[in-house]
Amino acid sequence: MQGPSILPLALENISLQHEGLPILDRINMLVARQRTTVVLGPNGAGKSMVLKVAHGLISPDAGHVRWSNLSGAKAQTRQAMVFQKPVLLNRSVLSNIVHAVRLQGIDKAAAVHRAHMALERVGLGDLAGRRARSLSGGEQQRLTFARAWARDPEVLFLDEPTASLDPAAGWGIEEIIVELRREGRTVILSTHDLAMARRLADDLVFLHRGRALEAGAAATLLTAPRTAELEAFLKGELRW
């Protein structure tokens, strides 16, 4: 990772509507450097939307996304997102990563080198020549991580990265996340998986029906919730 940090990231009073119905309602959120911020909440709470707004894919109807000292355009090149549902090009495993790296203006030879390194790191080194869409779900998810990694981002948005995986594959992804963090990258991760939040979160934002009901240090919130909703969610009793 080179260049000045684009962090901290501040979401200020973000609101988003769809056909008059609120999807996000005055969300405030602060993401500090070199920490893992977990956006926790039940299905439909708005987790994916928060990540997409923060990543710049969706413009909010109100509020601001502020990166430190940099214009949004420049900040975009230092971020990567892993989507809830992997989107892979109809090409080989290697070409998927090479394409993503070359979009950063890096030449072909360097991009291929980076792609091979990234594949090794996620344990897909032997599958470089396979068609990406012929991979299993878990392998596809590891490929999307390799693709994000190869772009050397300072900030990673991870949207429910283990939601559709079996426990072993989920562990594999968590190990990759720990490694990304160890390298000093900042992770913003959404999940409804409480156990995963306990293992990975430094900071936590609890989202419910488009509102951020609680935010703060994970250790505090997960042991001493202030709202009835989070308390119920921790007990596994919160219904949408």
Partner 1 sequence: MTDIAAGFAAAFQLLLSFDAGLWEIIALSLEVNLAAVFLSCLIGLPLGGALAVYRFRGRKALIILINALMGLPPVVVGLMIYLMLSRSGPLGSLNILFTPGAMIIAQAILVTPIVTALTRQITEALWLDYREQLTSLGSSRMRAIPTLLWDGRAALFTAVLAGFGRAAAEVGAVIIVGGNIAHHTRTMTTAIALETGRGNLALALGLGIVLVTLAILLNTAAWMVRERSMPEAALLGVDR
Q: In the complex, which residues of this chain contact partner 1 (CB under 8 A)?
A: 52, 55, 57, 76-77, 79-81, 83, 87, 89-91, 99-100, 103-104, 131, 133-134, 151
Closest CA to 153 of 228, 81, 219: 81
Cα 192 from chain centroid (whole Å): 13
Contact between 208 and ligand ATP per CB under 6 A? no
49 touching ligand ATP, by CB under 6 A: yes
Instruction: Provide, rounded to whole angstroms, the least separation between the CB of residue 81 and partner 1.
Output: 5
The least distance separating partner 1 from the CB of residue 166, rounded to whole angstroms, comes to: 20
Name the binder of 226 from ligand ATP, partner 1, Mg ion, none, CB < 5-8 A by kind. Answer: none
Total Cβ atoms within 10 A of residue 85:
13
Going from the C-alpha of 114 to that of each of 98, 132, 148, 160, 201, the distances in angstroms are 8, 17, 11, 26, 29
- Work out the widest C-alpha separation in the chain, in whole angstroms: 55
Around 108, how many Cα atoms within 13 Å sit in the side-chain half-sphere?
Answer: 1
E-assigned strands of the chain? 9-18, 21-31, 36-40, 62-67, 79-82, 155-159, 186-191, 203-208, 211-217
Indicate whether 60 belongs to the interface with ligand ATP (CB under 6 A).
no
The residue type of 225 is: P
78 CB-side CA count, 13 A: 22
The one of partner 1, Mg ion, ligand ATP, none whose footprint includes residue 44, by CB under 5 to 8 A per kind, is ligand ATP
44 binds ligand ATP (CB under 6 A): yes
Which partner in Mg ion, partner 1, ligand ATP, none is near 43 (CB below 5 to 8 A by kind)? ligand ATP
23 binds ligand ATP (CB under 6 A): yes
Instruction: Choose the one of ligand ATP, Mg ion, partner 1, none that binds residue 35, judging by a C-beta under 5 to 8 angstroms depending on kind.
Output: none
Q: How far is the CB of 174 from ligand ATP (least distance, A)?
A: 18
Look-up: residue for tokens 């072909």?
108
Asked whether position 147 contacts ligand ATP by CB under 6 A, the answer is no
Judged by beta carbon, residue 55 or residue 192, the one nearer partner 1 is: 55
In this structure, how many other beta carbons lie within 10 angstroms of the beta carbon of residue 108?
10
170 binds ligand ATP (CB under 6 A): no
Binding site for ligand ATP (CB under 6 A): 18, 23, 41, 43-49, 84, 160, 192
